[in-house]
Structure 1
Amino acid sequence: MADRRRLGRSDIEITPIGLGCAQMAMTGMTAGVYPTREPNAVVQSALSGGVNWFDTAEGYGSGESERALTTGLRTAGVRPGEVVIATKWLPFGRRASSIARTIGDRISALQDYPIDLYQIHQPWGLSSVESEMREMARLLRAGKIRSVGVSNFSARQMTRAAAALRAEGVELAANQVQISLLNRSIERNGVLDAARRLGITLIAYSPLHTGILTGRFHDDPDAMRQAPLLRKVMFGRARDLDRSRPLMREMGAIADAYGVSRAQVALNWLIHFYGDTVVAIPGASKQQQAEEIAGAQTFRLTETELGRLGELSP
């Protein structure tokens, strides 16, 4: 069984790897990028591999992902409260008052599975961060959510949100940002330092850099050309393949030594290189992928291996 980590300063304990559920929406912002046709099998495989938490969002198909996730949990015999669920409020074109008005929609889409972590999906709402945090704190005090998080917040925005929440007697638990061996911007932009100072967990999304760190596109460059346009625009640039070849060779050698995949090496580096501050939410469109990502937390790279991959990371 995978070790557990505390989510921020909350009383919630999570495995170093959770399952990102954007793939479970067939419509919305992720449609056609990495869809899954077998959400129940994906959820079951993640659970069987020891994963104890799942991240979804209102923006993933207007509740479609949330419903698919909780249907999968129910099919697997998981009762409400037995796993940790994180979801997000979408701020585009909305004011902070929408947070309270729409919480019932989130609870309904989650089919009465509780919200353990409720996150502001982007820092681009019509209200101030302070107003949004006050609304979140009210939901927490009302027992509708267990902890508060943000997503895609800069160091300054995260610090501001944490201060606003603290004024309400609540700690900011998490900030969800892009982190991977090919995206280490948290080390330069202040997010990592601020998170450590404030006791905030960083949740790494796109931890495999949209599949590049699996080695699939290095092995078959034609696969990149055939990928959906949105996927290529988001992360899948050809230059990422060229600059990461030395890294991939080292990852391949380490993977062979452990009898694991390159993707598992990339995930294991991510959840250990930064200590307990960073956890990851890779997604899975197939049952086999869910098994693979869960297995990434069953071994541990040595300090030498962590450092070597860090040196080769462009």
Structure 2
Amino acid sequence: MSGAVEWIAVDWGTSTLRAWGIGEGGSLLWQVQSDRGMGTLAPGAFETAFLELIIPQVGDDEEPLDVIACGMVGARQGWAEAAYRPVPCRPLDPALIRAPTLSPRLGFRIVGGLCQHRPADVMRGEETQVAGFLSLNPAFDGVICLPGTHTKWVHISAGEVVSFQTCMTGDLFAAISRHTVLRHSVITEDWNETAFSEAVSDTVSRPERLAAKLFSLRAEGLLDGLAPGTARARLSGLLIGAELASARPYWLGQDLAIVGARGLSKLYASALSGLGVTATIADGDGMVLKGLAAARALSAEYNS
């Protein structure tokens, strides 16, 4: 147990639960995580899973615990549903959803997600990263790319989310590299940056050839001894290139920021750089914390 916790920030996704203890002045006191994501829990198990994770940090006395959370914990299958709000709108709703709790010391509030009807799309968790970025860059007008399993491209104007587009590039890479014939070709952590850049450029210019280009990775491995590191980099480049081709209206001629994990953000920045686009990079975890802090402050103002 360490320090006097003022509130607890939580990012609770499908596979992972992460919590940060925040002290006076926004200081970070501790960080913990577990693999008890939303997808692993029954409806009545959320409070127990959360308390088991944080009690070693905060103790088991009766001090109140003020928690602000984002992510899939607010899904219909989560602890308490925090409804989607349709865009255009500001990324945060000051009316947070309070989850039901048995512990009298626990106050657990959840940030709601955003939705778009045409074309149909949803986000849950990314709106908090967007809010965090805007809290540091309030005059930003442009596009925020949030790379991940389901990459989001978010158009921002006058402090509002105007529209967004989701691409399942991360899911596709995982599925193809683990569950298709290409799994034999990309089993490595090696990397070839030149192969990645060439694949991005190739697929941006000719996205209709993606399916054929994917199988050629296997054929080149069998016939020409294509190195696994080159095949892996090319697979990533082909898929990100196809994404960039579909998201062209979001990045072409726009001020662009990339918010996410360092490695993946650098990968997207590299792909875009090859297309003549320069992006600002911001740390995903840092923006989650800034966004949750903004949600807490906005809620306090709303309820005062």
**TM-score when scaled to structure 2?**
0.31
Q: Rg bigger for which structure?
A: 2
TM-score normalized with structure 1 length = 0.30
Relative to its length, the structure with more strand (as a share) is 2
Higher relative contact order (CA 8 A, sep 6+): 1
